[in-house]
């Protein structure tokens, strides 16, 4: 009987296999293969050679690709692309923020695996955790919880206080690599600080590194419904100033989350594909600060009873907004708006720097019968769940069932009248010039009498800074306008807010909300109108001086300026780019005089070929996020 084979050496052919599996940018020293694709290895035997027909070698391999995308351009964008854009600003001024995902940079794969090992699930039951790592549903929930630090030593501390003296202002970050490496180098202690776009960007890096197709999504006018009734309540005083919300409901100027592509065998057929994951710590899910995966198709169809966290995501894109006037200790309903939440839902286009609007993936067209039917369907499912929850609570502990909210949305067929329809007066703000940082803000209030009667209006105007999560800061400008309108007449009331008036009150988000609360002496109805202004900076200009070739020196010119009419101090320029710089570059610029324009030349040696991107940010004691980017194609060395 022939002697059995003894394996002396196994050649995993790491370099060749990794190239075929598009993982060579991560490593060529260790085998790193992707699901659903063949790879080669060679076995060397110690005692004798392999004899076909006599010897049998059996490999047992179990593979299932639950995250397979059949489109090669989509795979290139959502797995392989290591840079992109995160959309910020407001629905009236959408701006791309360049970001270095850097999922193939040195040590990132090791950091991502360490992140999984630091999760509460692994710490509690490592065997079960590892057994479940083949499930993208499970892994995505673990990563969503680990990106924030609310329950564990996750990657990022969230901070919305405007006080970042003991860390980094979230607006200053330009990439995930520096964040993940800082977390790893500090013994897996949370990095200070992040907000929604930073959480989403870092999660995108981790998920793409793990081979799960992922993209970053921005939702403008994003609802945060804390009590699950699909109503966002906003409160105003008689000057039109928005008040801090006692219910903690808010409309975020924009909110950023992720979509990951995966099969959902835990759901009915048809609900696989893109799933919402939100690593920003807003509400708990099964006792942990994470959110998702929630099927995008389930959100559009109002199937809010499907896992995970679908009701919360539904409210972010399709809640109604109720405006209230608070006066003399009483609350007066101003208007219920069914279309103000969830606008211009955006992501980067495939293999392009353009923006894709994917709002139709999340909901039917606002104002359509189908959209209202889905809203009512979701509301009824939530009420039924609250009723059953209260009944279960009653079975466990005798008490009165929790009363259901009597708030009801407007009916499908009969929209409610707006106050402006009752008074027959329309108010609207219009900017006269682009709102540039450092300059006065000039705008007008347009008043239109839609009736055949004279109208005497008193309008209270105010302006206040906002954080991007909707939190209001103190008002810094107020005015009162008295406007008399003849039948069908239109008038404009000019307004100006000087730089000296708003500069010291501005938040990092550079958002100003102007409001007008109008009343007509012959009617008890009040008309509320507001507009959010996003102040803009001039971008950093980046020029590549010469051809970019792997392993050859490359000069890069960065042109920047102080846009303000005052001196700024503590200026720091940050530059990075995967495949172009080994690590993030920080250049101390010191003091910049008013309106001063300058440039510097940086030298680097590209070490990866293909399409690359340079990201830059400049901060000072007066501003934190003047940004710029430049795409660069790096050729192979001859």
According to CATH, the superfamily of the domain at 541-634 is: Immunoglobulins (2.60.40.10)
| CA–CA–CA angle 147, 250, 458 (5° rounding) | 155
What DSSP assignment string belongs to 343-380?
Answer: EEEEEEPTTSSSEEE-HHHHSPPTTSHHHHHHHHHHHH
pLDDT band, residue 595 (cuts 50/70/90): very high
pTM: 0.90
Q: Per this entry, what is the length of the chain?
A: 638
Q: Detail the residues annotated as belonging to a binding site.
A: 318, 320, 366, 371
CATH 3.40.50.300 fits 82-387, yes or no: no
Q: Do domains 82-387 and 425-534 have the same CATH topology?
A: no
Residue 29 in contact with residue 74, Cβ under 8 Å? Answer: no
Quick one: DSSP state of residue 171?
G
Nearest-angstrom CA–CA distance, 371 and 365: 6
Q: Where are the domains of the chain?
A: 1-65, 82-387, 425-534, 541-634
Give the model's pLDDT for residue 247: 61
pLDDT band, residue 336 (cuts 50/70/90): confident
Give the model's pLDDT for residue 401: 31
Nearest-angstrom CA–CA distance, 275 and 261: 6
Helix (H, G, I), strand (E, B), or coil: what is residue 85? Answer: strand
Question: Which residues are catalytic, by number?
Answer: 196, 255, 278
Give the model's pLDDT for residue 226: 84
Which structure tokens are listed for 308? Answer: 């995970």
Q: Write out 415-456 in H/E/C secondary structure.
A: CCCCHHHHHCEEEEEEECCCCECCCCEEEEEEEEECCCCCEE
Which structure tokens are listed for 191? Answer: 């990095």
- To which residue do tokens 């059949």 refer? 70
Residue 499 in contact with residue 440, Cβ under 8 Å? Answer: yes
- To which residue do tokens 């949370």 refer? 190
- pLDDT digit string, tens, across residues 283-318: 989 999 999 999 999 999 999 999 999 999 999 999
pLDDT, mean of residues 210-236: 93
Q: Detail the residues annotated as belonging to a binding site for Ca(2+).
A: 318, 320, 366, 371
Q: How would you classify the pairing of strands 191-194 and 156-158?
A: parallel
Helix (H, G, I), strand (E, B), or coil: what is residue 129? Answer: helix
What DSSP element (H or E) covers 59?
none
174 pLDDT more than 90: yes
Cis bond upstream, residue 603 (ω within 30): no
pLDDT, mean of residues 590-617: 96
- pLDDT digit string, tens, across residues 10-47: 999 999 999 999 999 888 888 999 887 889 999 999 88
CATH of 425-534, one of 3.40.50.2300, 3.40.1360.10, 3.40.47.10, 2.60.40.10: 2.60.40.10
- pLDDT digit string, tens, across residues 403-438: 333 333 333 333 444 666 667 899 999 999 999 999
């Amino acid at each position: 009987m022939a002697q059995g084979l003894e394996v002396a050496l196994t050649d995993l052919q790491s370099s060749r296999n990794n190239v075929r599996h598009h993982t060579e940018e991560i490593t060529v020293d260790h085998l790193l293969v992707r699901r659903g694709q063949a790879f080669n290895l060679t076995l060397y035997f110690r005692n004798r050679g392999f004899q076909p027909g006599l010897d049998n070698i059996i490999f047992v391999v179990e593979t299932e690709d639950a995250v397979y995308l059949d489109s090669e351009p989509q795979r290139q964008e959502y797995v392989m692309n290591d840079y992109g854009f995160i959309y910020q600003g407001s629905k009236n001024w959408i701006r791309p923020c360049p970001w270095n995902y850097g999922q193939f940079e040195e040590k990132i794969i090791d950091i991502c695996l360490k992140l999984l090992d630091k999760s509460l699930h692994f710490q509690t039951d490592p065997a079960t955790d590892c057994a479940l790592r083949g499930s993208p549903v499970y892994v995505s929930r673990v990563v969503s919880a680990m990106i924030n630090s609310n329950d564990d030593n996750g990657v990022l501390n969230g901070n919305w206080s405007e006080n970042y003296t003991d860390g980094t202002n979230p607006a200053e970050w330009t990439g995930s690599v520096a964040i993940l490496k800082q977390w790893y180098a500090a013994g897996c202690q949370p990095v200070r600080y992040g907000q929604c776009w930073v959480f989403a960007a870092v999660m995108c890096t981790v998920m793409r590194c793990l081979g799960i197709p992922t993209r970053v999504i921005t939702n403008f006018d994003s609802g945060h419904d804390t009590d699950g009734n699909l109503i966002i309540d906003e409160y105003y005083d008689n000057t039109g100033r928005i008040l801090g919300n006692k219910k903690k409901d808010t409309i975020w100027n924009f909110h950023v989350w992720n979509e990951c592509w995966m099969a959902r065998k835990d759901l009915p057929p048809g609900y696989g594909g893109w799933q919402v994951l939100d690593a920003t710590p807003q509400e708990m899910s099964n006792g942990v600060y994470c959110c998702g995966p929630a099927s995008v198709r389930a959100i559009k169809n109002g199937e809010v009873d499907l896992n995970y966290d679908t009701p919360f995501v539904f409210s972010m894109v399709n809640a109604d907004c109720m405006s209230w006037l608070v006066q003399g200790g009483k609350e007066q309903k101003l208007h219920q708006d069914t279309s103000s939440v969830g606008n211009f839902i955006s992501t980067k286009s495939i293999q392009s720097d353009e923006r894709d609007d994917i709002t139709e993936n999340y909901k039917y067209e606002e104002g359509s019968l189908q959209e209202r039917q889905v809203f009512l369907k979701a509301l009824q499912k939530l009420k039924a769940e609250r009723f059953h929850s209260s009944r279960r609570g009653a079975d466990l502990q005798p008490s009165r069932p929790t009363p259901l909210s009597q708030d009801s949305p407007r009916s499908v067929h009969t929209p409610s009248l707006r106050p402006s329809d009752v008074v027959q007066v329309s108010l609207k703000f219009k900017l006269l010039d682009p709102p540039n940082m450092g300059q006065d803000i000039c705008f007008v209030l347009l008043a239109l009498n839609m009736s055949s009667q004279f109208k005497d209006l008193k309008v209270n105007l105010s302006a206040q800074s906002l954080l991007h999560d909707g939190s209001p800061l103190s008002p810094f400008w107020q005015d009162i306008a008295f406007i008399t309108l003849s039948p069908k007449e239109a008038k404009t009331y000019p307004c100006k807010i000087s730089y000296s008036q708003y500069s010291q009150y501005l938040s990092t988000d550079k958002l100003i909300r102007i409001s007008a609360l109008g009343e007509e002496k012959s009617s008890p109805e009040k008309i509320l109108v507001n507009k959010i202004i996003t102040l803009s900076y001039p971008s950093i200009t980046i020029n590549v001086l010469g051809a970019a070739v792997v392993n050859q020196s490359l000069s890069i010119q960065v042109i920047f300026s102080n846009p303000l009419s005052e001196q700024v101090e503590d200026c720091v320029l940050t530059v990075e780019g995967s495949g172009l710089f080994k690590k993030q570059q920080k250049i101390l610029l010191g003091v910049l005089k008013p309106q001063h324009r300058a440039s510097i030349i940086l030298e680097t040696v590209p070490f990866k070929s293909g399409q690359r991107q340079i990201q830059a940010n400049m901060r000072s004691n007066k501003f934190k996020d003047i940004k710029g980017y430049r795409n660069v194609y790096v050729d192979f060395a001859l």
